[in-house]
Structure formats: structure tokens, C-alpha cells
């Protein structure tokens, strides 16, 4: 096959992926689901579960192994820049401000029960679902960590669409999801180091390299980017040379973290955290990078995930249904009950508590990134990979129905205004009690 023929095959595959994910994304929005749910389903439909079953010759022609390798590279680039944008969108003052303590408690309430239940489920199915050579502790850590994730970027979009992103409960939930994801990525880095290092010194080298990278990027790198941010604010736009510097840094960071053994998304995420809190820079980066990334490169990632999804064992009388049900229940119950209980204890109504429990259950793209990294490092079997893809679709698809059942249209904004007013009166009363009369 010459280069022109190969290029034609890659373009054909990309066209099919783009058409399928766009169509399924639109259908998802018609049934009041986030677009990402439809895109995730489209990825599965393009793989063995549907296209491979109905027209195996077509799937083999569209997605041969060499084309799949190209899709893997494109999806890795897309994920690296996606995590860069996620890191760059975090408000540092929210993470370190007074609300961080309450948000940390909420994040822990979602992580700890889910991790315990997920690890217990992993222990039950260790003999049937774990990859060869994996220890039970590595397997439990991986499944527990995967189920502990919350889709922070999708949660941010949902809260903004509902008009409650800046409300007390909206801000609390958003920061908790960010802490949740950061903890999950740190855990994944540890799992990769432990699971793939052939020698204890390899693990030490990887940990030291990652720590050094993070420290340098968040100190020296942040100061240098702050200067760039000041110039962008002054000019009102990011110039071509400045954008080249940013893109080069993200790519170099992705290469370095991949090279030391903790995957490129970590480099992208840490680089995003080093970005200045410049409104102009944020707006420019989002407007220039989001469309290409979210419309083309991330759908390629969904398709690549779908091509690795096998429904063997899910037929009538199949042996995969029980693990799917048990792991799904561990994921949903741990997040929902843990988060809802803490929100209720923090003074919000049961309706609000239930809504937050539903939203924090949305795992979306983030769990797919997590398990695809595990697949790349041979830490996941095809059976477990398929189960976790289905868990991603189920929990993400259930998030908005739970939210709407808990807070019907209009009630969330009304409850937010009431809660904000009550908080304001409480603060005024406390201030009047502390302050001596004039």
C-alpha cells in the first residue's frame, strides 16, 4: 500500500468517526442527555458490538490495524490537549480558598465509599477479569480508582447550562469534582508506576521524575507563563509566537511524562495548572483549541475505545452480566450515597443532596481516559475494559435523569436563590454578633 492509499484510508476512517459521533451526539441532546453520552455510544457502535457484528468486512476495511495505530496517536494528542484545557480551566482560588475544605470533604465522600466498594468488587472477580501477571492489590487499586472518577469538565458544562455554576452548591460540587479527578489521576500514576516498573529503581525514577516535573512546571513554569499572560492581557489576544510556545510546551510535557512512564495526559494537565488565571488567555485558548479537539480528536478517542470493546460473554446466559451489575452498583451506590449524605449534613435539602449525588456519578470521558491508559499498559483485560466502558455510559447517562428528578426545571435556580439569601442573612447575623455596637 502506497502513502496515498494509506492516507485515503485514514481520511475515510476519520470521516466515518466524525459523522457517527456528530449524529449520535445530536440524538443524545434530543433526549436531553449530554452530547458526550451519544459520542461514547457512537464509539461502541463503530466497533465489534454493532458494525463488527453486522458487517465485519466493512469494519475490517475501515479500521485495519495500521489505521487504528494512527487513531491511537491522534486520540493521544487530543487527550493531552483536552487535559491541558481542563487544568487551565481550574480556578486556583477555589481550590485553595475557604470553600476548599467543604469541597474536599464532599470529594472524599465520593471517592472513599466508591473506592472501597469498587475494590471489593474487583477482589470478587479477580480470578476471572484480571490480566495475567497482575497482583490482586494492583487490580483492586485500578478498579477502585476508575470507579472513583467524576467527569469534572462535563459537570462544569451542566452547572453552567443550569445557571447555578456560581451558586453555593454549584461551586461546592465543581471544586469537589476537580479534587476528585486530581486524586484519581494521582492514584493512576501510582498504579502505573507499581504495575509496570520491572525494578524498584524504575519506580523511584518515575516518581522522582514526575515530582520534579510538577514542581518545576508549577513554580518556574508558572512564573514564565505569568509574564506571557500579562502580555496577552495587554494585547487582548494570543499572538502566533505565543501560541507556538504554549503548544510546544504541552507537546514537550506530554512527551516527557510519557517517556518517564506516567502517560502524556499528566503532562498536559500539569501544564494547564501552570497557566495564569488570565481571562483573555483562557478565552483565547478555549476558542482556538476546543473546537478541533472536541469535534474531531476526542471523537477519534471514542472510536478507538469502541474498537477495543468486545461484547463476548454478554449474550443470553453469558458470564459477564453478573460482574457488570455488581461493578455498576458499586460505582453508583458509592458515589450517590456518599456525596448525598455529606451535602445533606452541610445544610442543603434532600433534593439538593440527591441532585449532587447524581451529578457526581457522571464519569463521562474521564473514566474512558483512565481505562484506556490501563489498556495501553496491559493492566486491563478486554472483558473488564468492556464492563468499564458500559459503566461509563450507564453512570453518565443516569446523571441528568437523577438530577431532574431531584430538582425539576426551575427548582434548582429557586432553591439556589433561597439558599444564597439564607447564607447572606446568617453571615450578617454572625458579623453583628461579633462586631461591638458603634
What is the per-residue pLDDT across 84-97, written as a single tens digit (0 to 9) for each? 887 887 766 655 66
Tens digit of each residue's pLDDT (9 = 90 or more) over 132-145: 888 898 899 889 98
pLDDT computed for residue 335 by the predictor: 92
CB atoms within 10 A of CB 116: 16
Q: To the nearest 10°, the Cα dihedral for 126, 128, 132, 135?
A: 10
Q: Which of 155, 192, 177, 175 is nearest to 266 (CA)?
A: 192
Residue ranges of the chain with per-residue pLDDT less than 70: 1, 91-100, 153, 157, 160-168, 194-203, 313, 315-318, 409-438
Confirm if 381 and 129 have CB atoms less than 8 A apart. Answer: yes
pTM for this prediction? 0.77
E strand or H helix that includes residue 7: helix 3-30
pLDDT computed for residue 70 by the predictor: 93
pLDDT computed for residue 317 by the predictor: 62
Q: How far apart are CA 354 and CA 339, in angstroms?
A: 8
pLDDT computed for residue 430 by the predictor: 37
Residue 318 per-residue DSSP state: -
Q: How far apart are CA 169 and CA 412, in angstroms?
A: 10
pLDDT computed for residue 182 by the predictor: 72
Alpha helices in 162-296 (DSSP H): 168-196, 200-216, 222-235, 240-260, 264-273, 279-292
C-alpha cell belonging to residue 364: 463521562
pLDDT computed for residue 414 by the predictor: 58
Q: Which of 294, 237, 273, 299 is nearest to 21 (CA)?
A: 299
Q: Find all residues with CB under 8 Å of 278, minimum gap 6, and list them.
A: 229, 230, 232, 233
Q: Which of 52, 56, 43 is nearest to 16 (CA)?
A: 43
C-alpha cell belonging to residue 298: 476526542
Confirm if 390 and 327 have CB atoms less than 8 A apart. Answer: no
- Domain-wise residue ranges, the chain: 3-429
Give, in order, the Cα–Cα distances in Å from 223 to each of 59, 228, 235, 274, 281. 49, 9, 19, 8, 15
CATH architecture assignment, domain 3-429 = Up-down Bundle (1.20)
Q: Which of 95, 111, 181, 170 is nearest to 348 (CA)?
A: 170
pLDDT computed for residue 250 by the predictor: 95
Q: How far apart are the first and last CA of the chain?
A: 87
C-alpha cell belonging to residue 358: 447524581
C-alpha cell belonging to residue 366: 474521564
pLDDT computed for residue 53 by the predictor: 85
Residue 94 per-residue DSSP state: H
Q: Find all residues with CB under 8 Å of 177, minimum gap 6, and list them.
A: 107, 150, 151, 152, 155, 156, 360
Amino acid at each position: 500500500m502506497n502513502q496515498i492509499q494509506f492516507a485515503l484510508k485514514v481520511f475515510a476512517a476519520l470521516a466515518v468517526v466524525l459523522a457517527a459521533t456528530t449524529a449520535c451526539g445530536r440524538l443524545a441532546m434530543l433526549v436531553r442527555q449530554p452530547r458526550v453520552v451519544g459520542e461514547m455510544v457512537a464509539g461502541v457502535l463503530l466497533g465489534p458490538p454493532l458494525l463488527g457484528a453486522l458487517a465485519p468486512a466493512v469494519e475490517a476495511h475501515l479500521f485495519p490495524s495500521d489505521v487504528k495505530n494512527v487513531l491511537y496517536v491522534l486520540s493521544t494528542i487530543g487527550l493531552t490537549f483536552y487535559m491541558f484545557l481542563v487544568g487551565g480551566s481550574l480556578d486556583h482560588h477555589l481550590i485553595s480558598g475557604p470553600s476548599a475544605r467543604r469541597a474536599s470533604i464532599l470529594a472524599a465522600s465520593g471517592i472513599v465509599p466508591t473506592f472501597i466498594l469498587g475494590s471489593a468488587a474487583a477482589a470478587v472477580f479477580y480470578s476471572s477479569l484480571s490480566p495475567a501477571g497482575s497482583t490482586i492489590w494492583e487490580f483492586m487499586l485500578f478498579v477502585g480508582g476508575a470507579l472513583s472518577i467524576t467527569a469534572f469538565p462535563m459537570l462544569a458544562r451542566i452547572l453552567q447550562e443550569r445557571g447555578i455554576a456560581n451558586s453555593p452548591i454549584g461551586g461546592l460540587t465543581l471544586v469537589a469534582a476537580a479534587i476528585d479527578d486530581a486524586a484519581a489521576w494521582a492514584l493512576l500514576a501510582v498504579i502505573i508506576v507499581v504495575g509496570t516498573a520491572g525494578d524498584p529503581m524504575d519506580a523511584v525514577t518515575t516518581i522522582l521524575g514526575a515530582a520534579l516535573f510538577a514542581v518545576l512546571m508549577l513554580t518556574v513554569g508558572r512564573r514564565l507563563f505569568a509574564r506571557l499572560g500579562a502580555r496577552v492581557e495587554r494585547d487582548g489576544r494570543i499572538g502566533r509566537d505565543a501560541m507556538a510556545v504554549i503548544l510546544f510546551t504541552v507537546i514537550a510535557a506530554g512527551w516527557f511524562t510519557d517517556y518517564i512512564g506516567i502517560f502524556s495526559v499528566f503532562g498536559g494537565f500539569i501544564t494547564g495548572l501552570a497557566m495564569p488565571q488570565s481571562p483573555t488567555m483562557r478565552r483565547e485558548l478555549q476558542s482556538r483549541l476546543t473546537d478541533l479537539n472536541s469535534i474531531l480528536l476526542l471523537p477519534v478517542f471514542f472510536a478507538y475505545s469502541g474498537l477495543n470493546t468486545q461484547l463476548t460473554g454478554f449474550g443470553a446466559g453469558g458470564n459477564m452480566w453478573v460482574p457488570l451489575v455488581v461493578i455498576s452498583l458499586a460505582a453508583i451506590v458509592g458515589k450517590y450515597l456518599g456525596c448525598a449524605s455529606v451535602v445533606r449534613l452541610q445544610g442543603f435539602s434532600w433534593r439538593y443532596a440527591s441532585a449532587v449525588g447524581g451529578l457526581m456519578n457522571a464519569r463521562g470521558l474521564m473514566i474512558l481516559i483512565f481505562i484506556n491508559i490501563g489498556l495501553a499498559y496491559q493492566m486491563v483485560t478486554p472483558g473488564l475494559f468492556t464492563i468499564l466502558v458500559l459503566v461509563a455510559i450507564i453512570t453518565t447517562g443516569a446523571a441528568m435523569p437523577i438530577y431532574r428528578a431531584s430538582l425539576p426545571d426551575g427548582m434548582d435556580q429557586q432553591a439556589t436563590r433561597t439558599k444564597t439569601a439564607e447564607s447572606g442573612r446568617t453571615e450578617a447575623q454572625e458579623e453583628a454578633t461579633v462586631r461591638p455596637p458603634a
